[in-house]
Amino acid sequence: MIRGIGQGIARLKAGLRKTRDQIGDGVRNIVRGRSTVDEEMWEEVEELLLRSDVGAITAEELVEDLRRAAGRWSRPDPDQVLETLRRSLCEKMGSGERPPLALDVAEGPAVVLVIGVNGAGKTTTIGKLAARLREEGKRVLVVAGDTYRMAAVEQLAGWAERAGVPLVRGREGGDAAAVVHDGLESAIARKADVVLVDTAGRLHTKTSLMEELHKMRRVIERRLPGAPHEVLLVLDATTGQNALQQARVFGEDLGVTGLVLAKLDGTARGGVVLAIRRELEVPVKLVGVGEGIEDLQDFDPEAFARALVPEDRPAA
Ligand SMILES: Nc1nc2c(ncn2[C@@H]2O[C@H](COP(=O)(O)OP(=O)(O)O)[C@@H](O)[C@H]2O)c(=O)[nH]1
Ligand SMILES: [Mg+2]
- pLDDT tens for the chain, 316 residues: list them: 444 445 788 889 999 999 999 999 999 999 998 999 999 999 999 999 999 999 999 999 999 999 999 988 889 999 999 999 999 999 888 766 677 898 988 888 999 999 999 999 999 999 999 999 999 999 999 999 999 888 999 999 999 999 999 999 998 888 999 999 999 999 999 999 999 999 999 877 888 899 999 999 999 999 999 999 999 999 999 998 888 888 888 877 799 999 999 999 989 999 999 999 888 888 999 999 999 888 999 999 888 998 999 886 655 4
Q: Whose CA is nearest to atom 19 of ligand 1?
A: 119
Give the mutation target among 12, 122, 124 for probing the ligand 1 site: most ligand atoms within 8 A of CB: 124
Q: Which amino acid is at 110?
A: A
How many residues does this entry show for the chain? 316
265 lines ligand 1 (CB under 6 A): yes
CA atoms of 29 and 24, how far apart (whole Å):
9
The H or E element that residue 246 is part of is helix 241-254
Q: Per the omega criterion (within 30 degrees of 0), is the bond before 76 cis?
A: no
Backbone angles phi, psi at 96, to 5 degrees: -65, 150
Cis before 228 (ω within 30):
yes
SS3 66: helix
Report which DSSP code applies to 146: -
Check: CB of residue 141 under 8 Å from CB of residue 224.
no
pLDDT at 64: 97
Q: In 10 A of CB 162, how many CB atoms?
A: 13
Looking at the CA of 149, name the nearest ligand: 2
Sequence-separated (6 or more) residues with CB below 8 Å from residue 188 = 108, 109, 224
Dist CA 101 CA 109 (whole Å)? 14
Residues 179/145, Cβ–Cβ less than 8 Å:
yes
Pocket probe mutation, ligand 1, options 199, 291, 293, max atoms within 8 Å of Cβ: 291
Give the global pTM.
0.91
Three-class secondary structure of residue 170 per DSSP:
coil
Residue closest to 184 by CA, chosen among 121, 226, 150: 226
25 contacts: CB under 8 Å, gap ≥ 6? none
For ligand 2, the distance from its centroid to the CA atom of residue 148, given in whole angstroms, is 10
Closest ligand 1 atom to Cα of 120: 20
Spatial distance between the Cα atoms of 9 and 250, rounded to a whole number of angstroms: 30
Q: For residue 234, which atom of ligand 1 is closest to its CA?
A: 20
